[in-house]
Structure 1
Amino acid sequence: MAPLTNSKVPKSTTMHSKVVIIGSGPAGHTAAVYLARANLNPVLFEGFMANGFAAGGQLTTTTDVENYPGFPSGILGPELMDKFREQSIRFGTQIITETVSKIDLSARPFRYWRESQEHEEPETSDTIIIATGASAKRLGLKGEVTYWQSGISACAVCDGAVPIFRNQPLAVIGGGDSAAEEATYLTKYGSHVYVLVRRSELRASKIMAKRLMNNPKITILWNTVATECQGDGDLLNNLRIKNVTTGEERDLPVRGLFYAIGHEPATALVRSQLQTDPDGYIITVPGTTQTSVKGVFAAGDVQDKRYRQAITSAGSGCMAALEAERLIAEEEEGIEED
């Protein structure tokens, strides 16, 4: 995705902003659109391969996106993010293609450093929106890179209805509630779903485990791991699997493989300064995007471990923008009154 702008402030200048957005997925750009239209001149750091993703986040690694409203024929993930970016720029967002590598949330205005300016004076902002996202955990199997988004996915809700998976045998890796939910969902589209569980029991809750084991379209392969993803060079068509108890290896012909082994939120930048849950997701005040530090808001997958959809990320980006705008207005009015 070619940058439309790469705005940089001269190193001799210390930039101060009313609001800075860190992250360039649906949450970050939606926040930018709202804030720019409110004449708050937002600055958005889209990062340079931050967390292993190009600017635009996880959607830049997907193919067809068919569940985002407004695109009845679907749209490619990178194309969708290009449109988000163009809209942010149209309303005046300053987009900087650099990564924020350090941040100090101990006092306002908040201080932060770009990756290229760590040894210089920090830049500052009255409010910050963290929209750095999360990435699906992968196994690093042989052939995984070749068939990622060509038969391998980490989101059944996002990709399960794609034509290549319809009426085809599918596999899910994982033993928790997420795996149970993904496998059950995939039975709507696949001819059969195999669930590969490394252990001899499920980690899923009793009700989810029962639902999984009672579904005639699901077969659980206990004590089983995948060792290689195979295909014709274009699409996945086989998994090489191994029974960890007996050591036996065999082929499992499937046209789709879905990882359900968790996600890793990109919170290393702020984890020691904001309240997070045991998995590292930023905790927000229920019904808001306000974090444990006043003036810092979190939107998108970085604070959403349940839905993780582009549309819900965009919605929370809107919330964060409105809440930041309200805080700035209240504080400016308070200054005027004084």
Structure 2
Amino acid sequence: MPQACKAIRETLILGSGPAGLTAAIYAARGRCCPLLIHGQQPGGQLTTTTVIDNFPGFPEGVDGTALMDRMQEQAERFGTDFVEGEVTRVELAKRPFKVWLGDECYQCQTLIIATGASPRMLGLPNEWELYGRGVSVCATCDGFFYKGKKVVVVGGGDTAMEEASFLTRFADHVTVVHRRDTLRASPPLEKRARENKKITFRWETVVTEILGDKQSGVTGVRVLHHPSGEEEEIPCDGVFIAIGHTPNTKIFKGQLEMDPEGYLITRGNCETNIPGVFAAGDVQDAHFRQAITAAGSGCMAAILAERYLEGLDDQEE
């Protein structure tokens, strides 16, 4: 039998990446008594990153898991409560908002959604094993590590062309592997990539295997040219998968406004179309996808939630 809903919390936060944990720190310091619900991967995608070199305050870099552990400790210090579980449904039509973890129902006056976006991967056996060891989904995050090296970018859209062009600042050479014979990228981005002498294209080609192991990292890729059926190995030091992200918003469909890709639409800051429901981090940011920008939006969402709660208090007086 379904259980009765638990006591109403002032603020409920979904997600424990930099957006969710920063929101928790600010909400707890604002005495909004936050409860944070995280899934099976506490800390989010950053826990799969070995070294984060561009987060302010860590001149020597910081391990992704260590950074998220410290953020969680900070949130706990100020009084954030944590619950592990997968959210199965939400009800946002009226306050208190309801969030279910299976049969368990949680209620809140304000909800901060920081569920992130998952990178689309190639589906190859060892891509996660080599993630952070030569396999990346973010040139801005990792490009610096490939000074004087050779890299492969997989994809043919705007993201792939932006990544390829950015990587030429560091890498000696960038090979773009695209499964079609034309790009899907916008004309300006395509023109910039095609005119860059450091970039070459492999058309109608797919990556069938990423070569390397945990000890040596990525050493190359095996590719298949569809028209000819020929296979070839391309030596490289890194593989950047740039075939898009999928925002983790499925459970909010029909209740919150989204763009065609499924990203939550926010108005100017972190406000969704439902008053009292806020979104922060990659779940509403298809452009930057950085730990620092996610943390910043988590801060904004928590401050907005606190102000919303103050408005409710004023109405009740």
User: Which interval holds the TM-score relative to the shorter structure?
Assistant: over 0.9
Matched, 1:191 2:178: no
Deviation at 1:222, TM superposition (A): 1.0
Deviation at 1:223, TM superposition (A): 1.0
Amino acid in structure 2 at the alignment position of 1:130: I
Cα distance in 2 between the residues matched to 1:142 and 1:21: 33
Pairing partner for 1:297 from 258, 264, 278: 278
Task: Spell out the pairing of 1:109-148 with structure 2 (5 A cutoff).
Answer: 109-115=96-102, 118=103, 122-148=105-131
Deviation at 1:106, TM superposition (A): 1.1
Pairing partner for 1:99 from 57, 62, 86: 86
Task: Spell out the pairing of 1:158-237 with structure 2 (5 A cutoff).
Answer: 158-162=141-145, 165-234=146-215, 235-237=217-219
Which residue in 1 is equivalent to 2:56? 69
Count how many residue pairs are aligned between Structure 1 and Structure 2: 314
Which residue in 2 is equivalent to 1:17? 9
Matched, 1:81 2:68: yes
Deviation at 1:94, TM superposition (A): 0.9
Deviation at 1:191, TM superposition (A): 1.1
| Stretches of structure 1 lacking an aligned partner (at least 5 in a row) | 1-10
- 2:133/2:214 contact within 8 Å kept: no
Q: Deviations over 1:257-299 (max 9, x none)?
A: 00110001110121221010111100011x2211011111000
Pairing partner for 2:30 from 20, 35, 38: 38
Which residue in 2 is equivalent to 1:255? 237
Deviation at 1:98, TM superposition (A): 2.4
Cα distance in 1 between the residues matched to 2:101 and 2:14: 11
Cα distance in 1 between the residues matched to 2:307 and 2:129: 47
Aligned in 2, Cα 1:293/1:157: closer, same or farther, shift over 3 Å? same
Deviation at 1:166, TM superposition (A): 2.1
Deviation at 1:232, TM superposition (A): 4.8
Deviation at 1:87, TM superposition (A): 0.5
Matched-pair identity in %: 47
Cα distance in 2 between the residues matched to 1:111 and 1:93: 19
Question: Secondary structure of 1:319's partner?
Answer: helix
Question: Secondary structure of 2:263's partner?
Answer: coil
Deviation at 1:189, TM superposition (A): 1.2
- 1:35/1:321 contact within 8 Å kept: yes
Cα distance in 1 between the residues matched to 2:292 and 2:132: 20
Aligned in 2, Cα 1:330/1:166: closer, same or farther, shift over 3 Å? same
Question: Secondary structure of 1:239's partner?
Answer: strand
Which residue in 2 is equivalent to 1:266? 248
Scaled by the length of structure 1, the TM-score of the pair is 0.90
Deviation at 1:100, TM superposition (A): 2.3
Aligned in 2, Cα 1:103/1:334: closer, same or farther, shift over 3 Å? same
Cα distance in 1 between the residues matched to 2:214 and 2:13: 39
- 1:225/1:241 contact within 8 Å kept: yes
Matched, 1:239 2:226: no
Cα distance in 1 between the residues matched to 2:240 and 2:32: 41
Cα distance in 1 between the residues matched to 2:67 and 2:125: 30
- 1:21/1:45 contact within 8 Å kept: yes
Which residue in 1 is equivalent to 2:266? 284
Deviation at 1:233, TM superposition (A): 4.6
Which residue in 2 is equivalent to 1:7? none
Aligned in 2, Cα 1:233/1:301: closer, same or farther, shift over 3 Å? closer
Scaled by the length of structure 2, the TM-score of the pair is 0.96
Amino acid in structure 2 at the alignment position of 1:136: P
Cα distance in 1 between the residues matched to 2:182 and 2:119: 23
Cα distance in 2 between the residues matched to 1:233 and 1:324: 43
- 1:142/1:227 contact within 8 Å kept: no
Deviation at 1:145, TM superposition (A): 3.0
